[in-house]
Amino acid sequence: MKTLSILCFWLMCCCAGMAQAQSPEPDENERVAADAQAALWWADFDELERQHALYQQAGQRTASGRSKLVLFRRGLGRVMNGPERAIDAYFVQMEALTLQWAQARPASALAHVLHAAALVAHAWSYRGSGYANTVPPEAWRDFERYIAKATDYLAKHEAVALSSSSGHVELLNLGKARGRQPAALWSIAQAGLARNVDDEGLYRDMLTAVLPKWGGSTVLVDRVINDIAKLTAPLHGDIYYSRMYAWAADAEFHHQIFKDTGASWPRMKAGYEQMLVRYPAPVNVNSLAYFACLARDKPALIDLLERIGPKPHLDVWGKNASRTFETCKRFAAES
**What integer pLDDT is reported at residue 1 of this predicted model?**
41
Average model confidence (pLDDT) for the chain?
90
Is residue 83 exposed (0-12), middle (13-18) or buried (19+ Cβ within 10 Å)? middle
Residues 224, 168: Cα–Cα separation, whole Å: 17
Instruction: State phi, psi for 61 to the nearest 5 degrees.
Output: -130, 155
Length reported for the chain: 335
Closest to 276 in 3D by CA, of 308, 309, 310, 323? 308
**What integer pLDDT is reported at residue 49 of this predicted model?**
97
In DSSP terms, 67 is beta-bridged to: 61
**What integer pLDDT is reported at residue 25 of this predicted model?**
44
**What integer pLDDT is reported at residue 58 of this predicted model?**
87
Residues 215, 234: Cα–Cα separation, whole Å: 31
Write the CB contacts of 186 (distance below 8 Å, at least 6 apart in sequence): 206, 224, 227
Residues 136, 218: Cα–Cα separation, whole Å: 30
Write the CB contacts of 287 (distance below 8 Å, at least 6 apart in sequence): 246, 272, 313, 316
**What integer pLDDT is reported at residue 82 of this predicted model?**
83
Between the CA atoms of 242, 247, 249 and 251, what dihedral angle is there, to the nearest 10 degrees?
Answer: -170
In single-letter form, the type of residue at position 210 comes to V
**What integer pLDDT is reported at residue 24 of this predicted model?**
39
Is residue 250 exposed (0-12), middle (13-18) or buried (19+ Cβ within 10 Å)? middle
pLDDT in tens, 107-165: 999 999 999 999 999 998 887 766 666 767 777 788 999 999 999 999 999 999 999 99
pLDDT in tens, 172-183: 999 998 989 999
pLDDT in tens, 137-151: 777 788 999 999 999
Residues 106, 110: Cα–Cα separation, whole Å: 10
**What integer pLDDT is reported at residue 19 of this predicted model?**
39
Q: What is the CA radius of gyration of the chain?
A: 21
In DSSP terms, 61 is beta-bridged to: 67
Instruction: Return the SS3 of 61.
Output: strand
Residues 203, 243: Cα–Cα separation, whole Å: 10
The parts of the chain modelled with pLDDT lower than 70 are 1-26, 129-133, 135
